[in-house]
Structure 1
Amino acid sequence: MFPIRDHNPSESTPYVTYALIAINVIVYLYGLVALTDDATLNRFYYDYAMIPARITAGENYPSLVTSIFMHAGFMHLAGNMLFLWIFGDNMEEEMGPIPFLAFYLLSGVGADLAQYASGPTSQVATVGASGAIAGVMGGYLLMFPKAKVDILLILIVFFKIFPVPSWIMLGLWFLLQLLGGVGADPNGGGVAYWAHAGGFIIGFVLTLPMWLKRGAAGYWDATDGHPPHPDAQYRFQKSSIPVVKRR
């Protein structure tokens, strides 16, 4: 189960969101072209990924930023960019381009620090934009709890797209990160659950001043938790592929 789009169209061009997606894609493509052997790849990760043991040793603090533009594979990149594309444009529109960029970077750094706190001596590299994007999701939940998000549900051979309020989708996602983090081994690699959970909380907290300025619960009363503009309307077109009946 994962989101494919929301019904919350932005009314301005989200240049920063597009630029962040482009930078992540360029860094990934650079890795495919330039990091062609294990030694070069390992050195790249050592220099730019967030490795908790190095932070504990007082080394490589810039990796708290550089690591959020690195990805471990195509699906890692694609999933993160899908989430950024869905939720980033609305937060950029609400905050403005420069404040949104600062918000994104702070969420990413905070997410890395949350992952670091779960295992300060770990030598496992942390990479990916998901912590920063989790911050965007936390802010989105606060601003638009009832915005519709289309979910693709896959159950073996069953496929279904249906809309749910963002608080259900984002709340469930956050709960899964917390549950995953409780049982995770910081020295074992895999999903950086605490980066996700930490980034989400940081993004939520960083969005609080804007939400309070808009009227706090009064903002929800005025918008009913929906976007402050009409929802996007989607409909599925009938397929042009003819149906062949069984004989």
Structure 2
Amino acid sequence: MFPLRDHNPSGRTPYVVYLLMAANILGYLWYSTSFPGDRGLAMFYGAFAAVPREIMSGEAPLTLLTSMFIHGGVMHLAGNMLFLWIFGDNMEDEMGHLPFLLFYLVSGVGATLAHVVSAPMSPVPLVGASGAIAGVMGGYLLLFPKARVDILIILIVFFRIIPVPAFVMLGLWLGMQFLGGLNADPNLGGVAYWAHAGGFLIGLALTLPLWLKRGGPRFWTRTAGHPPHPETRYSVTRVPRVPRHPPARRPGPWGK
């Protein structure tokens, strides 16, 4: 299940979202090509990634920030930037440029600390913007629970793009983080589920004052949970269907 876009237009240019995306993408292009061999890159990660054991001992506090702008690979980076692109512009529109930047950074630091609490003695470095972006998603859920999000569902040979309310997509995502966190050992690396869940809840809490300023429950009543402006309408996006019974083929050589 991959989000592709939402139907929630923003009223102003999301300069901070653009800036954050540029910092992450250009940074990745720099450090992924500037350090010779795996050893040099590992030393870079060791210096700028967040290591729970070091943070618990009071070392390298700046890695709480620097780790948010480091990614472990192209797909890691691309996935995070997609989520930031979809949900970040509306949060920046509602909060304003500088408040949104502060919100993003605080959510990211809080998400990293949530991971540190879950594995305080872990020597495994933590990298990625997903904790901060999870905070953006938590705030989005509070402000626009029924905004429509187009998701791509892939089930083996079944491909379908369907619009769903944001609370369905984000609620499922949050539930997956809790389930993953309960079944994973954070000391072994992999997905930082508790950073995701922690960032989401922190972002939701940080958005509460803005939601109350908009009227709280009255805001939801007035908008029925939808964006307080006309939604974007897209033309129907079709995904090629894979036939259930492909035509028989003659035997051929093995391939991969």
TM-based fold match above 0.5: yes
Please say if 1:97 is aligned against 2:97: yes
Q: For residues 10-64 of structure 1, what are the alpha-carbon distances to aligned partners after superposition, in whole Å with 9 as ceiling and x for unaligned?
A: 1210000011001000111012210231221121111100000111121000000
Percent identical pairs in the alignment equals: 63
Q: In the alignment, what sits opposite 1:15?
A: 15
**RMSD of equivalent CA atoms:** 1.3
SS in 1 for 2:186: coil
Q: In the alignment, what sits opposite 1:126?
A: 126
Tell me how far apart the structure 2 counterparts of residues 232 and 100 of structure 1 sit (CA, whole Å).
23
Code of the residue aligned with 2:11 in structure 1: it is: E
Q: In the alignment, what sits opposite 2:68?
A: 68
Q: In the alignment, what sits opposite 1:111?
A: 111
Code of the residue aligned with 1:15 in structure 2: it is: Y
Alignment of 1:12-161 (within 5 A): 12-161=12-161
Code of the residue aligned with 2:18 in structure 1: it is: Y
Code of the residue aligned with 1:123 in structure 2: it is: P
Tell me how far apart the structure 2 counterparts of residues 172 and 112 of structure 1 sit (CA, whole Å).
22
CA contact (8 A) 2:32 2:41 kept: no
Shift of 1:238: 7.7
Tell me how far apart the structure 1 counterparts of residues 42 and 223 of structure 2 sit (CA, whole Å).
50
Tell me how far apart the structure 1 counterparts of residues 237 and 43 of structure 2 sit (CA, whole Å).
49
Question: Where does structure 1 differ by over 3 angstroms across 4 or more consecutive aligned residues?
Answer: none
Tell me how far apart the structure 1 counterparts of residues 8 and 32 of structure 2 sit (CA, whole Å).
34
Tell me how far apart the structure 2 counterparts of residues 164 and 119 of structure 1 sit (CA, whole Å).
35
Q: In the alignment, what sits opposite 1:208?
A: 208
Structure 1 gap ranges (5+): 240-245
CA contact (8 A) 2:92 2:100 kept: yes
Tell me how far apart the structure 2 counterparts of residues 42 and 33 of structure 1 sit (CA, whole Å).
13
Aligned residues: 240
Code of the residue aligned with 2:49 in structure 1: it is: A
Tell me how far apart the structure 2 counterparts of residues 30 and 5 of structure 1 sit (CA, whole Å).
28
Tell me how far apart the structure 1 counterparts of residues 114 and 49 of structure 2 sit (CA, whole Å).
15
| Change over 3 Å in CA distance of 1:89–1:208 after alignment to 2 | same
Shift of 1:237: 6.5
SS in 2 for 1:187: helix
SS in 2 for 1:50: coil
Tell me how far apart the structure 2 counterparts of residues 122 and 59 of structure 1 sit (CA, whole Å).
14
Structure 2 gap ranges (5+): 240-246, 248-256
Tell me how far apart the structure 2 counterparts of residues 148 and 130 of structure 1 sit (CA, whole Å).
22
